[in-house]
Structure 1
Amino acid sequence: MTSSGQVWLPIPPAEIDGLPPELDYVRWDAEPDFPADPADCVFYVAPYMQKAPVKVHPLPYMHKLKVLQTLTAGVDAFLPALATMHPGIQLCNARGVHEASTAEMALTLVLASLRGIPQFVRRQDKHEWRSGFHPALADKTVAIVGYGAIGSAVEDRLAGFECARVLRFARSSRATPRGPVHAMDEIPALLPDADVVVLVTPLTDETRGLADAEFLARMKDGALLVNVARGPVVDTKALLAEVESGRLRAALDVTDPEPLPPGHPLWDAPGVLISPHVGGPTSAFLPRAKRLLAGQLQRFAAGEPLHYVVAES
């Protein structure tokens, strides 16, 4: 049984190869006015890089909606709205779109922090030449907390850096060709072994505040915490206490609060590198997003099961 109806896309339909012709496409990328009556929309692709209230704004009017497709790996912004809508709506995430970019960003933050790149940039501004020793990633133990598609992509990129060991953590334990994935309840026992801890978990009730004072206290002296997940996965107050003491360092692509306001103590905390949530938006995004949407809409039009369904209303 095939499906038909109106599809809202944030990307011009003419720029996406392979869209099934039996569907009706309109473009909406968070403009003030809707391009059509949202009551006719059956498949909604939420705009990318917009604040949550903007992305969910049309949802209460979409009475025929069957699919809510995000262009993000995380879906936490959509779950409250989905809970108030009519039953049967499938929420799909953007698995396959952000793995390359986010994993690159994680490695960028690790290497920049370990090798002192922020200090070099500041010294370059002052025309100041100062050498010295810095930690290398080689021979380090790296923990990946949240070993899904992005976590696996991070390990892909670690392969050439001669790390001593990779510790993998996910909701449940399992075996992989690379080695074991440990359940999250094993973190307390194994975390003290890690020199670098990379957070790539989705934001859920279970992961909110995961890196709290107890978690951070178990990290070894001098260890580096890298967050490319969501800001609230880390307890900011607890992290500040550790970095201000000089015991830990941090590299954060996401923060809590976010955006990080001027004057927030994280900006000036010693040993902290901050990037403004840029793990996903790179040149790799658009071609992968287009392939994802074409595939999902082909399956939708043909009445086939969709990929990457993470929740249902």
Structure 2
Amino acid sequence: MTADVWLPIPPEDIEGLPAGPNYRFWDGAEDFPADPAECAYYVVPYMKPLDVVLRPMPHLSSVQVVQTLSAGVDNVLPGLKDLPDGVRLCNARGVHEASTAELTLALILASLRGIPDFVRAQDKGEWRGGFRPALADKNVLVVGYGSIGAAIEDRLVPFEVARVVRVARSARTTERGPVHPLTDLPALLPDADVVVLSTPLTDATRHLADADFLARMKDGALLVNVARGPVVDTKALLAELETGRLTAALDVTDPEPLPAGHPLWQAPGVLISPHVGGPTSAFRPRAERLLVDQLNRFVNREPLRNVILTTGA
């Protein structure tokens, strides 16, 4: 059977792809580019709806690798049950760190310094001064200390934060200091001025930021979510925002896209960006480098990078 590679980027635009496979361009169009049963390497279309991403998966009877171009893999997990055993699922570690960390800092600074208020005042031709919180001297808690969490810390340090506290699924030590396990969160939340969520969406992190989590945050603290919308309990967050006790900056929401008329749009103290942490000018060159490296490894039967799991294992 002929081995096909399905790419969401036109293969002629990618320099360095290895010879051998038949490259098929598919970015979620209604018609498949070829028989899915002949696809050996499926690169998931980026930022496409769940139904689009999952549509070919029941037909991928010969697939060996499913490659996302996102850091998270939650969008393809429902389709894994339709795949044969032995399929490697790989994520896009190394692609989104710079862009997501950049947006995280932008959201923190915009929220603390009141940039949305300045924009609204400018629209009205009004001069509104006053004192605002600075990021300098703040304690920042990063929940989800993988490669993106580390990139966020890289960008926090020059802003003279008082302390960065790191949290991940399990405890470990890094060059910068300890990483606390999730079980330490109740003790760590009350000291944080800014809480950044950059964790993958899993059963363990769904509604991680629930009513109890939010209640433990200090008065006036800022919650920043650049992870996935369901990591936060939206109803519980709305209750805190309505009191004015907390503020929030959200690049992801639950539901998403956030529908018109949803109370989050009008909640006080919230800044919302439409899931734009990854899609920047930095995405394409990094995504192409990852695909070239992975496909050369695949063709040469070398170990792949970023393997999250193997079906049936």
- Normalising TM by the smaller chain, what interval? over 0.9
Does 2:105 correspond to 1:102?
Answer: no
* Alignment partner, residue 32 of structure 1: 30
Q: How does 1:29-108 map to 2 (within 5 A)?
A: 29-108=27-106
* Alignment partner, residue 268 of structure 2: 270
Tell me the TM-score normalised to structure 1 length.
0.98
* Alignment partner, residue 152 of structure 1: 150
* Alignment partner, residue 110 of structure 2: 112
* Alignment partner, residue 200 of structure 1: 198
Does 2:287 correspond to 1:289?
Answer: yes
Distance 1:5 1:33 in 2: 19
2:190·2:218 contact (CA, 8 Å) conserved in 1? yes
Shift of 1:59: 1.1
* Alignment partner, residue 15 of structure 2: 17
Does 2:287 correspond to 1:279?
Answer: no
One-letter amino acid of the counterpart of residue 4, structure 2 = Q
Shift of 1:226: 0.1
Shift of 1:175: 1.0
Unmatched tracts of structure 2, length 5 or more: none
Shift of 1:83: 2.1
Q: What SS is found at the alignment partner of 1:83?
A: helix
Q: What SS is found at the alignment partner of 1:239?
A: helix
Moved over 2 A (4+): none
Q: How does 1:151-230 map to 2 (within 5 A)?
A: 151-230=149-228
2:57·2:82 contact (CA, 8 Å) conserved in 1? no
Cα offsets for 1:240-294 (capped at 9, x unmatched): 0101000000000000011111111110110000000000000000000000000
Cα offsets for 1:78-102 (capped at 9, x unmatched): 1111023211111100000100000
Cα offsets for 1:1-59 (capped at 9, x unmatched): xxx82100010111111111111111011111111111110001011111011011111
Q: How does 1:130-149 map to 2 (within 5 A)?
A: 130-149=128-147
Does 2:237 correspond to 1:239?
Answer: yes
Q: Which moved more, 1:78-87 or 1:160-169?
A: 78-87
Distance 1:177 1:305 in 2: 27
Distance 1:157 1:248 in 2: 23
Which of 106, 110, 123 is the matching residue for 1:125?
A: 123
One-letter amino acid of the counterpart of residue 43, structure 2 = V
Distance 1:308 1:69 in 2: 9
One-letter amino acid of the counterpart of residue 252, structure 1 = L
Distance 2:29 2:41 in 1: 18
Which structure ranks higher in relative contact order (CA pairs < 8 Å, sequence separation ≥ 6)?
1
Aligned length: 311
Distance 1:62 1:27 in 2: 16
CA-based RMSD = 1.0
Q: What SS is found at the alignment partner of 1:151?
A: helix
Does 2:308 correspond to 1:310?
Answer: yes
Identity of aligned residues (%): 69
Distance 1:262 1:236 in 2: 15
